[in-house]
Amino acid sequence: MTDINELILEQLPIITFGTLLIVLVLLIMMIVQAVKMRKLRKNYDNLMSSTGVEDLESLLFQLKVQMDAIEDMQAENKDDINKALTKLKQVQGKIGVKRYNAYGERGTDLSFSVAMLNEQSDGLVLTGLYNRDGSYVYAKPLKGGESTYSLSNEEKEAIVLAQQEA
């Protein structure tokens, strides 16, 4: 037992120096961490002061509520856009016009056929026949670019012109 005590007494300065060195390193690390913590606290206080909220949990809760509201609004907007696109496809936005002289030498180029189609080539063809004695207007419905009524060559040309529109 005395041998152990003597060994410890011989090594006591080295053990004391090593312990002091470890304590000094830990003290420096603690000071560095305290400086970082103060800087972090300052940044946190700056962040929280601009929100009007006292703690981070309340801020996160408010942000979650706002995000849910935005997602709901986005879903509504998506539905509205899909409805608008569906209606837009039904709009008769493709138009083809063919002017011609329906009566040869008795008329002029005032006769016309106008095809108004949507994306599915549904719509109508409107034909106006003009001569010196009078004018007549006819409307024929179209489904898929075809009509249940017979179509003249000029009406067919107007349909082709409308279908070629982008």
Decide if 139 contacts 124 (C-beta within 8 A).
yes
Where are the domains positioned within the chain?
Answer: 1-54, 94-164
- Token output for 78: 């998506």
pLDDT tens track for 17-27: 999 999 999 99
pLDDT tens track for 59-115: 788 889 999 999 999 999 999 999 998 888 777 688 999 998 887 766 678 899 999
User: Helices 2-49 and 56-90: crossing angle, nearest 10°?
Assistant: 50
pTM: 0.52
Write down the pLDDT at residue 106.
64
Q: Residues with Cβ < 8 Å from 149, sequence gap 6 or more?
A: 140, 141
- The alpha helices in the chain, defined as continuous H runs, are 2-49, 56-90, 153-164
* The residue to which tokens 């005590």 are assigned: 5
- Token output for 88: 């837009």
